[in-house]
Every structure is written in C-alpha cells, then in structure tokens.
Amino acid sequence: MSKPALGRGLGALLSGSPPITNPAPAAPAPVAAPAPPLDSRERVQRVPLNRIRPTAMQPRKEFSAEALKELADSIREQGIVQPLIVRERDGFFELIAGERRWRAAQLLNLAEVPVITREADDRTVLELALIENLQRENLNALEEAVGYAQLAEQFQLTQEQIATKVGKSRAAVANATRLLKLPVAVQAFIRDGRLSVGHAKVILGLGDGPLQSLAAERIIKDGLNVRQAEGLIAKLQSRGARTSGDTSKARAIVPVDSNIGRLEEKLREKFGTKVNLKYSQGKGAVEISFFSDDQLQHILEILNINAD
C-alpha cells in the first residue's frame, strides 16, 4: 500500500507550485500556441561536490554509517537517480533535500553531483527538511521535536499550522514537543533508544527534573515496560510526600499527580499550545500561553468567545 502524502508533499513544495485547486473549466488553448521556455531553475545541473554545504536547519543529526555505506554502494552501481535540491547561498549551494545522498557521494569521492536549484526562504527549507525525513521515517523522536519547536519559535507557527504542514495531528506535534521539557540526560536516553516515547510520557508526569532523571535511570536499569514505569512514578510521588514533614514543602517537592498531568496534556492538545495546570486541594489556575494574534484568536474560537 502506498504511503499517504505528508502535508503539501515534497513535490509541491520543491517545485514552488501553488496548491492544486479545482478551477472552473478554462477555454481550450490555441493549438499553435508554443510551450513556454523551461525555467533554468527546473533543469538538472551538475555541480562540484565541494561547492555544496549542508543546511544548519537540517533536523536530522544522526546518520547511520552502515546505511550511508549501503547508499554509497547503490550510487556506485546506479548513480544518483534523484538530484539533490539546493539553493544558492554566498557563492555555494546549500542543501534543502538530499543530505544522505550528499554524504554518500563524499564517501565515493565524487567530483560532481546532479542538483536542482530552488529559491526558498529559511522557513521553507526547514519545512522541506522535516517533510523529507518524516516521509522516510528517518528522524528519531527528539529530532522531530526539535524541528517542530524551531518552526514554532523561529517562525511563530502554531502547533496546528505545523501539523498541517507536516501531515501530522496537532496532538502528535504537541506530544513531541513536550519531550524537550525533559532533562538533557533523559533526552539522550530517548535519542539512543534506551527509553521509548511511551516511557517519556510517563516520566513527564514528574514535574521535577532530578526525579525525572532518577526515574529514567531506574526504568533502564530494571528494564521496566511502560506499565511498570507508571507504577514506579506513583511510588516516587508517594515517597516524596511521606519523606517531607512540612505539607507545604511536600506540595513543592512532590510532582504533579499523574491524573493532573494527563489532564494538562489533554488541554495542550485541545488548544494546540503550552498550558500549565496548577492544582491544590480543589483550587488552582489554568494558564494558556499564546505566541501570536492568530493563536490567540484560535484559542478564543475554541472557547466560543467573540473578541468584538
């Protein structure tokens, strides 16, 4: 079964073509009308490999040496079938898509590679890099989260807008970006596969960084599955409450209850933005963050509030 296209799709983004619509039938073109000349930017060119540079916006940071060797072997036999996509920057060509092929070409010491040059701004480059990697399932969970966060912070896109562009649900984008709240050490465990995303979601129920790190180490050491990890988190929360003589300090030390954490996550998914839920003995507050006028308008619409 063929894989559904992601977002606008690489084809539409790379060509710079507008989205396909369903216009009213147009009058037939004259038979003798000549075809427009081919835009030189659409032509495949061969450029020196040493004039190509990777983009700093590439979300993928890890490239399997074994997979690159296999790709290099294929290129040695078949050549580079799909040209690299680049843009001109400061006398060089900056990669938009095709970094694996570029790295494999380096392994083969190729002098030239085929490229297609596009005009693209930074946001488009990041979108394309994300989509290409997501389609090929090349990104680990942390790389995916960093890409989403960069779109949100650098280009002020809402989670809903990001989800539309990359063909994911808003909930998937929200859950991915939450991983970046974990301590660096715990993120490293997720990146190298020692912890699953399911484990990470459970650990996020602990609002305290040191406790999150402790839980992660215990989960790895004892080989706990996600269900067992939930039990560990509950014990850590309970232990924190028992070991503090001052109940007010206990509330400060004990992480947010897992039920409150799940409710907070549902609120984030609902509004597509950062939400903090503070709760203590039937009292508290809900803090909804927004980062643009459009995002505020979206929140008001969900709440059925008219700003006028």
Cβ pair 82, 98 in contact under 8 A: yes
Which residues make Cβ contacts (< 8 Å) with residue 156, sequence separation at least 6?
Answer: 291, 292
CA distance between the termini of the chain:
49
DSSP string for residues in 22-37: -PPPPPPPPTTPPPPP
State the amino acid at position 49 in one-letter form: L
Q: Please, what sign has the CA dihedral across residues 183, 187, 190, 194?
A: negative
Alpha-carbon span 236 to 8, nearest angstrom: 45
The radius of gyration computed from the CA coordinates of the chain, to the nearest angstrom, equals 24
Q: What angle do CA 257, 259, 263 make, to 5 degrees?
A: 115
Per-residue DSSP letter, 259: H
Total H helices, total E strands in the chain = 14, 7
Q: Which residues are identified as catalytic? A: 99
